[in-house]
Amino acid sequence: MQSNRNIKDAHLRLKLAWAWVQEEWPKRYPSDLTPFLTEVYRSPELQRAYYAQGREKVAIVNSLRRAVALAPISEVENRSIITKSKPGQSKHQKTPSEAIDIWFAKGKTLVDDKRLWKQLVDLIHEFDPGIKWGGNFQAVDKPHFEI
Ligand SMILES: [Zn+2]
C-alpha cells in the first residue's frame, strides 16, 4: 500500500490527539460535519508523484501517479502545486508518520470551512498544544497537522 489513512501508522502523539478529536467532536459539535483522516503515512513514491504535480508535464505526472495506483489528473489540475516537500522531506514519510491530514466532507465534496477548521485546531491544541497546524505554514496546508 502506497498511502493510507490508518492512524495506527502515526506517531503516538498524533494517535492520542486523533482519539481525543473522535471522542470530543461529536459531543461538542453534534450537528457539524465530522472530521475524517485523509492521509497518514505516505510512501516516497507517492510523495514523488505529488511533488511532480504542477512542476512536470502532465504525462510525466500521470506516469508517476500510475506507478502508485492513483487516477490520472487533467492538464488543468496539473497547474497547481500541491506540496512543497520533495520525496523524503515530508513528515508523512516518517515511520511512524509525524503528520496526519484531516478533512471535512459533505457527501463526496470536501468542505473548506473557516469555522470548522478553527474548531478542529482549537480542539487539537486543547489536548496537545505542540502539534503544528499547516494552516499557519507559509505554504498554507489546512488539512495538515504535524509534530
Ligand atoms: Zn499533510
Which helix (H) or strand (E) element contains residue 134? Answer: none
CA 61 to centroid of ligand 1, rounded, Å: 19
pLDDT on residue 3:
59
Q: Where are the domains of the chain?
A: 1-42+90-147, 43-87
Grid coordinates representing 112 are: 473548506
CATH 1.10.760.10, applies to 1-42+90-147: no
Q: Would you tell me the crossing angle of helices 58-67 and 44-52 to the nearest 10 degrees?
A: 160
Q: How confident is the model at residue 81 (pLDDT cuts 50, 70, 90)?
A: very high
CA 93 to centroid of ligand 1, rounded, Å: 10
Q: Mapping DSSP to helix (H, G, I), strand (E, B) and coil, where does residue 24 land? A: helix
CA 101 to centroid of ligand 1, rounded, Å: 5
Report how far apart, in Å, the C-alpha atoms of 52 and of each of 38, 58, 62, 81 are: 20, 9, 9, 8
CA 75 to centroid of ligand 1, rounded, Å: 24
Residue pair 117/142 in contact by the 8 Å Cβ criterion: yes
CA 104 to centroid of ligand 1, rounded, Å: 14
Interatomic CA distance for residues 22 and 27, integer angstroms: 9
Q: What is the pLDDT of residues 43-69, one digit of tens each?
A: 989 999 999 999 999 999 999 999 999
